[in-house]
Structure 1
């Protein structure tokens, strides 16, 4: 059998694969999404949630760029929370609980509505490579499908091995087979590979839980949403999550199974995610703690299935069950399926360019867990960028690369290809030098115009952004020009324990004070409130934007200056075939690392571990700077 030739073949239908197919097709490429089971597109393989600290910022960036994750998340959300509101806006992070089945359905429908996307259910077990250039894929059904580019988004399926107590069996996910052939072929072609581990907790029957013994965790009173688009709306009703805790008896039972745990008996040799440890790892590493939080998360609107967040484990199922029954509210628990660990192949991402194209094989792109990341959001953002760059490469255009001051996505990809990773990489706000610039509220202002220029973000998206900027500027203008008298403002200042005034001051100066919000000023001054009502057009996003820009103006300005200084080093290009061995003043470690990574700019070279400031100076002299 012979299928037609495609511009781009995307292998894998997870979060990375969906975004890769969606972006490349929206930009005009013909796309074939090949996945082992079409019923499992966009599976939330682990927890039924999107966003969180730094991850929520990534979902907003994906949406601002024209990707699908934000819209799909909004349409399948059952709860919305803005995390870290007690901190500054750089730390505010949106998070949703989602209906697992609805999330997968919405992604499937979105892809089916996208012109240029075709589907094929099969397992890819090889690549067609000629003269160092990608030509297509081979499948287990013996079908050869030709294309000009391929994006591999294999998740945990490459030689996947599931561990449950002393048992292990081949699989890429519970109930699904592993994928074979690709790793072995890529190694033969010269790629370096490694193994990583991740895990998942048991799923239980919500009807068997006693929620009266747990702490209820409702969603926000006035929920927001992820997508900036007009296509989605905020939730009108929400489902609560709950918190309960392990105890000494829980830990005692779990410890009784340690000798049968693949974590401790040597069966698992690979590295797991540091920031999402298994329950056995937690009670082993933090033996002094007599309890750990357990988040009880519903899997959807209408299902009784519950996700036991915080109880990731690969202990024998009978040990898991006995330990669960000691947790308050879980005394009569019924388990749907036990937790397990899974080991899988990944490819150290230093083998990639910033475009996520591999350095060894032209027109072959990697995205998601194959690059050593963990998390739906990290995977989706890489899929988006790989899909964009596969399309641009075939169109003969320059790659679309986001800098570290442009987006968390830029930080993520630069970290991966410059520093590599030996453990599953997860995004945190602390990884970004410019997090005051990279807020969740301004992702559209930062990225939509860039995306529109390459043909991904729609005209409607760009129009909405320009309208938001216009209204924000009008609001700022009112605040900068309107004076407030002592009679109007002093009662508020006294209430907030802030210094009183003796003469009129502009409204913006009060907004710069801690604990004074724009809503406070509007309540204090009827005149200001009337003026703002004439220009704000009911745009709550613009009002928030104006308030943040005025309140944090000094910090934002300083960070923009720092970004400009550092970005100058990004403009100093390093020729691709530079012979670092010939630069005798470089340290031996710098020569080794620079030769392996092949940085494209001085900025990237300066971030490579082992390249010192003096090595950077040598490179600048060599480049005539």
Structure 2
């Protein structure tokens, strides 16, 4: 009934969709298996993509040929570039999406791909032959053969939903959990754990009083995630902000004795950076209010997502407390919030390609690895899918370093440090974040994807080359163009910076705080005319490159130093117990994780600089 697929992807959430596309775009024949074809690319929690650290990941996915950025651009209802008051390394795009349009758009793109087939059924086991993953078993007892398998099960592995004192099996509201896989993987020797996440109640927007809330509009000139020519966003929808109060908190406390978080029924660790409302008022008891973001679920629905009010309290307590929030006094609820516990597999059991160490040909991506967030899941799916296809094709693996991308930071953190709570990306996790900005992801990554032969990258690569040439030309013009005090001092006074006493080159003025390339162009007609030949993205990139070139160069030098360690390979079969000069902890960790390079070994928790020196001496370095 089934051919032998190159790659079977299990699960059609954000990780699974990107994994299927990534493998298919490298020429692999892919089967995407899901329990429900109607929930492909479902936004299970908030209807938004991007944010701090996460927006950079979406741009990187797009630069590598993934679809998350394109789908977001084509279905978003609001766009904002966060952290504009800070340096460009912190600028992070975020979009409110139309939940239903997002999922439909993803499904249409998947179904249009000639290399992707579909199968709707629960996968209950991995077919393992000669120690390798060779396909999957389904709930109907069917055997589907493949050369590699990517598991992207999200929150469905033995998922349990909690609402107050009620609990029942499920991977998402209204959907059953997945059984069998965890138990088989444990029999194969994998270590498993439990994690927890949650979601807020959904409300009827027709019953809310927006007039007493603060309006949060999108950017006046909205940007986009994709480096392709996706359509510009028009007719943005507003979000709103309101707050909890001491009265709301007191009402919520009335249900604490029935809370699964506080009575011990939930044992899995939840995300530290996205706590439930009951956790917030317990941990921050001194605060009188907490911010709530009132977010529309789409253009053609009145359903509202209350960002900041995730809860697993009893439904009557949630209802009573929400009705005491300003603007929610007449609120009607579509459904209560809930918590969900699910199985995950500590990611230290994976290599840098996201292939498992125990079973070659088996890859994990997304929440099965202990992460949280659509963006973190999507990028793992992309890397796992690419490497599953490359392995089948007997080609070299695709591995991103920490200096290459936020995706490289995320995977390196997971496989070397593991995680005991749902891992979320932040800009602070990247030590080279001036190099990993959201504006230059295509320059960093598109050439790599083009070199791999990812489908439809020719036009993107030409665009990158055009942009590089444009940045070089703009930089040269600013370095060569002299300006006199009488031409520029009026603008400098408006910008709040010292006037010139003699002529200088424009690049030295641009380096000043408060001075922008747009402002310079407004004051210097010849520069304005010169820049008119380039698009806004190229001009903005040139400005950042010139303004921060000292910092950028410093980070490049730091990367070069570290790359020397990344270039020193370690044998997979080496027994570190032989090196008695290593600390006992280092020997245990190195034998357990089998790092590929000295650089990777240096980032493993428990491996000290002295241990790294021992390794270098042993290797004759």
> Could you tell me whether the CA contact under 8 Å between 2:496 and 2:514 is conserved in 1?
no
- For 1:64-103, what aligned pairs fall within 5 Å after superposition? 64-103=63-102
Q: Which residue of 2 aligns with 1:526?
A: 525
Q: Which moved more, 1:484-493 or 1:13-22?
A: 484-493
Q: What's the secondary structure of 1:358's corresponding residue?
A: coil
> Could you tell me whether the CA contact under 8 Å between 2:203 and 2:333 is conserved in 1?
yes
> Could you tell me whether the CA contact under 8 Å between 1:478 and 1:532 is conserved in 2?
no
- For 1:503-518, what aligned pairs fall within 5 Å after superposition? 503-518=502-517
Alignment partners' CA distance in 1, 2:415 and 2:63 = 24
Alignment partners' CA distance in 1, 2:58 and 2:540 = 19
Q: Which residue of 2 aligns with 1:286?
A: 284
TM-aligned CA deviation for residue 598 of structure 1: 0.8
Alignment partners' CA distance in 1, 2:408 and 2:329 = 46
Q: Which residue of 2 aligns with 1:372?
A: 370
Alignment partners' CA distance in 2, 1:520 and 1:308 = 39
Determine if the alignment matches structure 1 residue 576 to structure 2 residue 572. yes
> Could you tell me whether the CA contact under 8 Å between 2:590 and 2:601 is conserved in 1?
yes
Alignment partners' CA distance in 2, 1:476 and 1:175 = 56
> Could you tell me whether the CA contact under 8 Å between 2:202 and 2:335 is conserved in 1?
yes
Q: Which residue of 2 aligns with 1:429?
A: 427
Question: Which ranges in structure 2 are unaligned for 5 or more consecutive residues?
Answer: none
Q: Which residue of 2 aligns with 1:456?
A: 454
Alignment partners' CA distance in 1, 2:64 and 2:514 = 33
Q: What's the secondary structure of 2:222's corresponding residue?
A: coil
Q: Which residue of 2 aligns with 1:466?
A: 465
Q: What's the secondary structure of 1:201's corresponding residue?
A: strand
Alignment partners' CA distance in 2, 1:587 and 1:403 = 27
TM-aligned CA deviation for residue 502 of structure 1: 2.2
Alignment partners' CA distance in 2, 1:547 and 1:112 = 41
Q: Which residue of 2 aligns with 1:567?
A: 563
- For 1:306-317, what aligned pairs fall within 5 Å after superposition? 306-317=304-315
> Could you tell me whether the CA contact under 8 Å between 2:531 and 2:539 is conserved in 1?
no
TM-aligned CA deviation for residue 532 of structure 1: 2.9
Determine if the alignment matches structure 1 residue 363 to structure 2 residue 361. yes
TM-aligned CA deviation for residue 500 of structure 1: 2.1
Q: 1:609 aligns with which of 594, 599, 605?
A: 605
Q: Which residue of 1 aligns with 2:166?
A: 167
Alignment partners' CA distance in 2, 1:600 and 1:71 = 34
- For 1:36-47, what aligned pairs fall within 5 Å after superposition? 36-47=35-46
Alignment partners' CA distance in 2, 1:485 and 1:414 = 50
Q: Which residue of 1 aligns with 2:417?
A: 419
TM-aligned CA deviation for residue 234 of structure 1: 2.0
TM-aligned CA deviation for residue 165 of structure 1: 0.3
> Could you tell me whether the CA contact under 8 Å between 2:293 and 2:308 is conserved in 1?
yes
Alignment partners' CA distance in 1, 2:476 and 2:235 = 37
Determine if the alignment matches structure 1 residue 108 to structure 2 residue 122. no
Alignment partners' CA distance in 1, 2:349 and 2:117 = 29
Q: TM-score, normalised by structure 1?
A: 0.98
Residue-by-residue CA offset, 1:79-120 (whole Å, 9 max, x unaligned) = 000000000000000000000000000000010111110000
Q: What's the secondary structure of 1:315's corresponding residue?
A: coil
Q: Which moved more, 1:522-531 or 1:200-209?
A: 522-531
Q: What's the secondary structure of 1:555's corresponding residue?
A: helix
TM-aligned CA deviation for residue 499 of structure 1: 2.2
> Could you tell me whether the CA contact under 8 Å between 1:164 and 1:314 is conserved in 2?
yes
Question: How many residues were matched structurally?
Answer: 620
Q: What's the secondary structure of 1:46's corresponding residue?
A: coil
- For 1:170-185, what aligned pairs fall within 5 Å after superposition? 170-185=169-184
Q: Which residue of 1 aligns with 2:617?
A: 621
Q: Which residue of 2 aligns with 1:476?
A: 475
> Could you tell me whether the CA contact under 8 Å between 1:160 and 1:178 is conserved in 2?
yes
Alignment partners' CA distance in 1, 2:128 and 2:186 = 13
Q: Which residue of 2 aligns with 1:548?
A: 544
> Could you tell me whether the CA contact under 8 Å between 2:14 and 2:374 is conserved in 1?
yes
Alignment partners' CA distance in 2, 1:235 and 1:490 = 37
Q: What's the secondary structure of 2:269's corresponding residue?
A: coil
Alignment partners' CA distance in 2, 1:7 and 1:325 = 53
TM-aligned CA deviation for residue 577 of structure 1: 1.0
> Could you tell me whether the CA contact under 8 Å between 1:569 and 1:602 is conserved in 2?
yes
Alignment partners' CA distance in 1, 2:331 and 2:388 = 48
Q: What's the secondary structure of 1:119's corresponding residue?
A: strand
Q: What's the secondary structure of 2:359's corresponding residue?
A: coil
Alignment partners' CA distance in 1, 2:327 and 2:379 = 37
Q: What's the secondary structure of 1:310's corresponding residue?
A: strand
Q: What is the alpha-carbon root mean square deviation over aligned residues?
A: 0.8
TM-aligned CA deviation for residue 474 of structure 1: 1.1
TM-aligned CA deviation for residue 471 of structure 1: 1.3
Alignment partners' CA distance in 2, 1:187 and 1:277 = 30
Alignment partners' CA distance in 2, 1:524 and 1:464 = 30
Q: What's the secondary structure of 1:148's corresponding residue?
A: coil
> Could you tell me whether the CA contact under 8 Å between 2:585 and 2:607 is conserved in 1?
yes
Alignment partners' CA distance in 1, 2:17 and 2:495 = 49
Alignment partners' CA distance in 1, 2:376 and 2:165 = 32
Q: Which residue of 1 aligns with 2:484?
A: 485
> Could you tell me whether the CA contact under 8 Å between 1:12 and 1:35 is conserved in 2?
yes
TM-aligned CA deviation for residue 236 of structure 1: 1.4
Alignment partners' CA distance in 2, 1:614 and 1:343 = 40
Q: What's the secondary structure of 1:6's corresponding residue?
A: coil
Determine if the alignment matches structure 1 residue 585 to structure 2 residue 581. yes
Residue-by-residue CA offset, 1:558-594 (whole Å, 9 max, x unaligned) = 0110011111110011111111111011111111111
> Could you tell me whether the CA contact under 8 Å between 1:128 and 1:135 is conserved in 2?
yes
Alignment partners' CA distance in 2, 1:474 and 1:114 = 39
> Could you tell me whether the CA contact under 8 Å between 1:26 and 1:115 is conserved in 2?
no
TM-aligned CA deviation for residue 473 of structure 1: 1.2
Alignment partners' CA distance in 2, 1:182 and 1:587 = 37
TM-aligned CA deviation for residue 233 of structure 1: 1.9
Alignment partners' CA distance in 1, 2:496 and 2:380 = 47
